[in-house]
Amino acid sequence: MSQQMRLFLAEAMRSLTANLSTTAAATIAVLIGMFVFGLFLAVGSYVNSWRENLENQVVVKVFFSQDATPAEIEAVRTQTLQFPQTKSMTFVSKEDALREMREKHPELTRGLASNPLPPSYTIKPKKAEQVREIAGRLDPPPPGVDTVTYKEKTTEKVLLFADVVKWGSLVGSLVLLAASTILIANTIRLSIFSRRREIEVMKLVGATNWFVRGPFMLEGLICGLIGSIIAIVLLVVGKEFALPALPFLERAGSEAEAWSFSLIALLVVGVSLLVGAMGSAITLRRFLKI
Amino acid sequence: MTDTSVETPATTAPAAIEADAAERAGGAPMIVFEEVTKIYEPNIVALRDVALVIEKGEFVFLVGPSGSGKSTMIRLLLKELEPTKGRIIVGGRELARLRRSKVPMLRRNLGCVFQDFKLLPNRTAFENVAYALKVQGESSKGIRAKVPEVLGLVGLASKMSHYPDELSGGEQQRVSIARAFVNHPPLLICDEPTGNLDPDTSVGIMQLLYRINRTGTTVVMATHDREMVDKMRRRVIALDDGAVIRDERRGGYG
């Protein structure tokens, strides 16, 4: 560590301990802001993955008639693959369909003499709302096709719900992020404002801007670090104790997943260090013009 | 001027002062104002066409009523402000051509003493003086050597670990003078250093500034203290409404 850095650190520690209430205020501001930020990263990424999951379940099903020939089935495959809206399609043979039915509803399949289920294609669209267009292109049904369905009612509801969730979480996180940014910015401004005379004196005895800025930025870094570590501890507590207490998440769970906790923790620490140091430096600008 | 004491300042002849000052100067003056005008936007004229030369080693009083431009002159010298018109040269350097990044260097060569002391409240007398050395990268060894020396010079050897609020006004001003002088700057600028002090304390501060002046440091002091100026019989530059109305070698307050 260079002599300059040691001096900055000593100056930063001196004023952190000399202005304990300001230090506490800044740390708590970072703590609140970063807790909210971390919470929204977790909840937002979870909700988003849940939404994607929902949208993935929106598919078009093409059911063939019992006597459809392999050539007819192949023709439908080639035709559908050429639609620009088609992402992928999977073939469900008669046997596959029966196996699936046995698993889901064993009581219905008990005692069946023959397999009554038709072969089908499950077509995934590139975007969920494109199921309508795909179904439209397969109307009238090509030869060998019995019915084309995309569960109109369910699909519409799912899509609407997904939209509400997407925009709701986006607006919510923007508002909360803005609120915590303003909270942190104001705390930094107040703490620097209360020391503007000190800064003036420093400048008048010949301190360079960097000499004044260095300790302030280090203070911001230290407050940011402490605040974000406490925020992460609170997030861990929330994850381990509060989440399991919420029963509906169990059901909604399925395959939805939030970003990994370590990624969120890393982002929280990074953002708060950035906010602490840059916030101090930017706020100082006005007071350094002496 | 070396034989001049506070008690008998009038014993030195004006001619001797001039010769002495010029000799120390080695030719170049300490401060030159060339037709300096400062207008605070939109239309407040703080200084109008001020022209003056202060030689090295001089002791100069800047007098005049409030709002006459004394503080503006001092802030121009510190490059806190830029003149609207004219040139200011300090120690041979033209301030307008000094880059912003070099301003800290300028200030390390100027000691500054203010009416309100401008001490850092959460630092002891020692630390306040040490700060002026720290900003220019002085080693802690150098700090430990120089700070007690200069605090001893101002008579505060026994109060180095006191905080400003534990010191009297006069003592605080001594700390601020020690801070201004610790670098042994060629120029000491004082903005009403006795403005907040009672007359007895003021005399002590003046004696201190005098001793500093005798080491060869140029002292420029803005003041309202009529009695002090009359007693000292030093060069007096009187300002009124932003203009120099009087510049006397051995003047009184007027």
Pairing verdict, β A120-125 and A86-92 = antiparallel
Name the closest residue on chain A to residue B79, using Cα atoms: A290
Task: List the single best residue of B74, B75, B134 to mutate versus A (max A Cβ within 10 A).
Answer: B134
Which residue from B80, B105, B119 is facing A290, i.e. has the nearest CB? Answer: B80
Chain A residues with CB under 8 Å of a chain B CB are: 3-4, 7, 14-15, 18, 197-198, 200-208, 211, 290
- Would you report the helix, strand and coil content of chain B in percent, each value rounded to 5? 40, 25, 35
3-class SS string, A149-179: ECCHHHHHHHHHHHHHHHHHHHHHHHHHHHH
3-state secondary structure of B237: strand
Mean of pLDDT values over A167-188: 81
Q: Are the C-beta atoms of A183 and A191 separated by less than 8 Å?
A: no
Instruction: Give per-residue pLDDT as tens, A123-144.
Output: 888 887 788 888 888 778 788 8
CA–CA gap between residue A143 and residue A75 (Å, rounded): 9
Phi, psi of A179, rounded to the nearest 5 degrees: -60, -45
Provide DSSP, B22-53: HHHHTSS-SEEEEEEEEEETTTEEEEEEEEEE
Q: Which residue has the tokens 């060869």?
A: B216
3-state secondary structure of B198: coil
**pLDDT for B25:** 46
**pLDDT for A181:** 79
Q: Which residue has the tokens 């708060």?
A: A272
CA–CA gap between residue B125 and residue B151 (Å, rounded): 8
Confidence of residue A248 (pLDDT cuts 50, 70, 90): low
Q: Which residue has the tokens 């949208």?
A: A55
Name the percent of chain A lying above pLDDT 90.
Answer: 2
CA–CA gap between residue B72 and residue B191 (Å, rounded): 10
Query: Does A265 or A247 have the greater pLDDT score?
Result: A265
The first and second tokens of residue A176, run together, are 């909360």
Average confidence score pLDDT of chain B: 86
Confidence of residue A245 (pLDDT cuts 50, 70, 90): low
CA–CA gap between residue A154 and residue A156 (Å, rounded): 5
> Would residue B57 be called left, alpha or beta, if left means φ above 0 and alpha means ψ between -120 and 50 degrees?
left
Phi, psi of B8, rounded to the nearest 5 degrees: -125, 60
Pick from A211, A201, A196, A208: nearest CA to B117: A201
Does residue B16 surpass a pLDDT of 70? Answer: no
Which residues in chain B are contacts of A200 at CB distance < 8 A?
Answer: 118
Which residues in chain B are contacts of A202 at CB distance < 8 A?
Answer: 120, 131, 135
The first and second tokens of residue B3, run together, are 């034989």
Q: Are the C-beta atoms of B156 and B175 separated by less than 8 Å?
A: yes
Helix residue ranges per DSSP H, B26-122: 70-77, 103-108
**pLDDT for A289:** 77
CA–CA gap between residue A227 and residue A24 (Å, rounded): 9
Q: How far is A190 from chain B (nearest CA, A)?
A: 18
The first and second tokens of residue B54, run together, are 């202060």
> Does the predicted TM-score (pTM) go above 0.80?
no
Q: Are the C-beta atoms of B162 and B121 separated by less than 8 Å?
A: no
Does residue A255 surpass a pLDDT of 70? Answer: no
A113 Cβ partners below 8 Å, 6+ apart? none
Does residue B192 surpass a pLDDT of 60? Answer: yes
Total residues found in chain B within this entry: 254
Instruction: Give per-residue pLDDT as tens, B109-168.
Output: 889 999 899 998 889 999 999 999 988 888 889 999 999 999 999 999 999 999 999 999
What is the DSSP code (8-state) at residue B167? S
Instruction: Give per-residue pLDDT as tens, A13-39.
Output: 888 888 788 888 888 988 988 888 888
Name the percent of chain A lying above pLDDT 70.
Answer: 94
Instruction: Give per-residue pLDDT as tens, B63-99.
Output: 998 889 998 999 999 898 999 999 999 988 899 998 8
Which residues in chain A are contacts of B179 at CB distance < 8 A?
Answer: 205
Comparing A7-11, A140-144, A230-234, the range with the smallest average pLDDT is: A140-144
Confidence of residue B252 (pLDDT cuts 50, 70, 90): confident
Does residue B62 surpass a pLDDT of 90? Answer: yes
CA–CA gap between residue B82 and residue B76 (Å, rounded): 6
The first and second tokens of residue A162, run together, are 């997904």
CA–CA gap between residue A263 and residue B114 (Å, rounded): 53
**pLDDT for A215:** 87
Would the CB atoms of A208 and B108 count as touching at under 8 Å?
Answer: no
Name the closest residue on chain B to residue A290, using Cα atoms: B80
CA–CA gap between residue B95 and residue B31 (Å, rounded): 11
CA–CA gap between residue B184 and residue B178 (Å, rounded): 10
Strand stretches in chain A, DSSP E? 60-64, 86-92, 120-125, 145-149
The first and second tokens of residue A105, run together, are 């509803």
**pLDDT for A33:** 85
Provide DSSP, A168-218: HHHHHHHHHHHHHHHHHHHHHHHHHHTTHHHHHHHHHTT--HHHHHHHHHH
CA–CA gap between residue B197 and residue B115 (Å, rounded): 9
Mean of pLDDT values over A262-287: 85
